[in-house]
Amino acid sequence: MKIGFIGVGHMGGPMCHNIIKKSGHEVTVFDLSHAAIEACVELGAKGSDSVAELAANSDVIFTSLPMPKDVETVALGAGGIGENAKSGTIYIDLSTNSPTVIRKVAAELEKKGITTIDAPVSGGVIGATKGTIAIMVGGDKSTYEKCLPLFESFGENISHLGELGCGCIAKIVNNMIAFCNMAAGAEGLLLGVAAGIDPSALNQVIRNSSGNSMGYRGVAYTTLKGDWTPSFALDLAYKDMHLALELADELSIPLSISPQVHNLMRMARGMGYGKDDATAMIRVYEETMKIEIRK
Ligand code: NAD
């Protein structure tokens, strides 16, 4: 089988590296960054000059792209997958995407005989690198089963959740919860330190107590070090939270905590932290209160 992979950044890069090393299939990659392509070529992949060339020569095409509009452009735009992939191609979007957008993409690609499944992932760069990432799949079950060995080459905890878009829904809900935990962690750290407790001691206690969560650990880790080098950019987290609010709007589902966290992310982006790690949302509190929470 010929595999094409478009978007080999923080997440797509390590996932693609595992496919190259473990799947036993020929892999071709395309990215706007030449360096990102080169890292895959060094492991045995072929580099491609365009989406069009990659799509025309692949049986299965993966994308791992930042925004829903990027997926739409690569899939449906000029020179994209729809124009170039042959009938019978399987298209798998690993991005955290809007269920509405992936359904629109799938409907257009179906007219060309291309089957789409959504398969967003969770576990961060560490999980992507170790090949332990969780994969949440929506779409045709038999296509999912056909692709399972491929998923197993770069992930664990692989679930088929239902019709197309269900992977995106699960992922959006997961991230909404994670970012609320992160924001609560930021507030907790601020309150504890303002009240006079040593940040490292407080962190140790929370890690062993009921306040612990992955979101909490993330914000505590970067903040105590004072280093928000992105492994998951705040701009992408903001996009995910936006997708959750958009879904709630479509369904008239009330959300009260998530919009506040979305707003906190807006403030952090306004203060210039959009390209930093998502945990840089704590900088809003630190700067407003003139309190630094460090080891
Ligand atoms: P990233 O910005 O590091 O990587 C995206 C890559 O796509 C970049 O290398 C970029 O050059 C490339 N790209 C953008 N537009 C392109 C185009 N038109 N054609 C070809 N390449 C293009 O982002 P990331 O952190 O790897 O995130 C990718 C997706 O995975 C996002 O949807 C994100 O929400 C999701 N995600 C990220 C994480 C994380 O921890 N970083 C975890 C789970 C899911």
pLDDT on residue 35: 98
Same domain flag for 61 and 13: yes
The answer to whether 8 and 129 have CB atoms below 8 angstroms apart is no
pLDDT on residue 197: 98
For the chain (295 residues), the mean pLDDT of every run of 10, in chain order, is: 98 98 98 98 98 98 98 98 98 98 98 98 96 98 98 98 98 98 98 98 98 97 98 97 98 98 98 98 98 97
pLDDT on residue 191: 98
pLDDT on residue 33: 98
pLDDT on residue 111: 98
* Domain CATH code at residue 89: 3.40.50.720
Same domain flag for 22 and 87: yes
Q: What is the position in ligand 1's atom list of the atom closest to the CA of 230?
A: 41
Residue 80 in domain: yes
Count structural domains, the chain: 2
CA of 97 to the centre of ligand 1 (A): 11
pLDDT on residue 124: 94
Catalytic one of 111, 146, 171, 275: 171
Same domain flag for 210 and 255: yes
Among 163, 196, 218, identify where a domain stops.
163
Residue 295 in domain: no
Residue 130 in domain: yes
- Among 5, 31, 133, which residue has the most ligand 1 atoms within 8 Å of its CB, making it the best to mutate? 31
Same domain flag for 226 and 266: yes
Same domain flag for 154 and 196: no
Tell the residue nearest (CA) to atom 41 of ligand 1. 232
pLDDT on residue 250: 96
pLDDT on residue 62: 99
pLDDT on residue 84: 98
CA of 31 to the centre of ligand 1 (A): 10
Q: Where are the alpha helices (DSSP H) in 42-165?
A: 51-56, 68-76, 81-84, 99-110, 124-130, 141-152
Same domain flag for 114 and 139: yes
pLDDT on residue 286: 98
pLDDT on residue 279: 98
Residue 294 in domain: no
pLDDT on residue 68: 98
Residues with CB under 6 A from ligand 1: 6-12, 30-33, 36, 64-66, 70, 73-74, 95-96, 121-122, 124-125, 231-232, 236, 240
Same domain flag for 149 and 199: no
Same domain flag for 12 and 155: yes
Among 138, 163, 188, identify where a domain stops.
163
CA of 12 to the centre of ligand 1 (A): 7
The answer to whether 125 and 10 have CB atoms below 8 angstroms apart is yes
pLDDT on residue 169: 98
Residue 82 in domain: yes
Residue 38 in domain: yes
The Cα 216–Cα 279 span in angstroms is 9
* Domain CATH code at residue 221: 1.10.1040.10
Same domain flag for 40 and 185: no
CA of 67 to the centre of ligand 1 (A): 8
Among 163, 194, 227, identify where a domain stops.
163
Structural domain harbouring 206: 169-289
Q: What is the position in ligand 1's atom list of the atom closest to the CA of 122?
A: 43
pLDDT on residue 211: 98
Same domain flag for 109 and 184: no
Please list, in sequence order, all residues whose beta carbon lies within 8 angstroms of the beta carbon of residue 136, skipping any fewer than 6 positions away: 119, 120, 121, 122, 159, 161, 166, 167, 170, 171, 174
Instruction: Judge whether 239 counts as a catalytic residue.
Output: no
Same domain flag for 128 and 189: no
Same domain flag for 125 and 243: no
